[in-house]
Amino acid sequence: MVYTVTLNPSLDYVVAVDDFRLGHTNRTGSERLVPGGKGLNVSAVLMNLGIQSTALGFVAGFTGDEVSRYIESLGINNGFIRVKEGLTRINLKLKSIEGTEINGQGPKINKEKIAQLMEQLDQLEEGDVLFLSGSIPASMPEDIYQRIMKNLDGRSVKTVVDATGNLLLNVLPYRPFLIKPNNHELSELFQVELKTRAEVLPYGRKLQQMGAKNVLISLAGEGAVLLAEDGTVHSSPVPKGNLVNGVGAGDAMLAAFMYAWMESRDYGRAFHWGLSAGCATAYSEKLATRAEIEAIYREVRTMNGM
């Protein structure tokens, strides 16, 4: 079984405003309200690829009701824990000014609810896959990912971690199956500037030496690199396309990578599926469908002489 953990999901209000002006009343040119959260994105893309998963985490209030309704409408198993205090956050994403967001805080998670999540995770068995994705609420302990990994240690659960800074570094001793930093996150970890696929390689190897089995590094328009557990290295540029929406591209990459790896146990195939899903999502308004991913996958194979 596949599980995704989204500790701080959201409703994302994505708006475009022509000629946005501070201090004035602005009217939207377009708007969308969609559930957000890295783990939710992973579950949605997995579902597009025919893999059912269980979404874990916390929801609260009427916004939490909408997140639950959304995942259930997709056929994703709803394992979210209800929290009484606060609301699932609303994030404002202003498309007119690139990178401009206002993110909510989310509900307060108490010790009893954290214990309930840990009880859910105690049910995982050998061969299960667990995605730990994204930031954590301010009310939760900073070492929550580390605690989860420690509890699963020795249980042969394949863990996929998409986190930054100490959230990522602290889980490496527990040998995560896959991590996915991008070049900017890698640069921050090692206090260097990394722009090319060749430049990230030695730092990907350092993360392997620190405990990660497989390191998948995304570089946006520069492509991606995989340093695999079997010692192979896979690198590829991305096919040309118009960037429409980069949100969720990394999540789609992880979902498709694990889909292909579970199907074939082939790191090269998994890498190219992941790259294709990331591109297909970035080149569309929504998370990529299977047909969109397959179309890009054919391009990627041709580019790499396969």
Q: Which residues are catalytic?
A: 251
Q: 13: which 2 tokens?
A: 């209000």
Task: Write down the residue that tokens 């392997």 correspond to.
Answer: 208
Per this entry, what is the length of the chain?
306
Output the furthest CA–CA distance in the chain (Å, rounded). 58
Q: Enter the tokens of residue 64.
A: 């939490």
Please name the residues in contact with 129: beta carbons below 8 A apart, sequence gap of 6 or more.
1, 2, 3, 157, 158, 159, 160, 177, 258, 262
DSSP codes, 204-230: HHHHHHTT-SEEEEE-GGG-EEEE-TT
Distance CA 120, CA 101 (A): 32
Tokens 């047909």, located at residue: 291
The beta-strand segments (E) located in 17-88 are 30-36, 53-59, 77-82
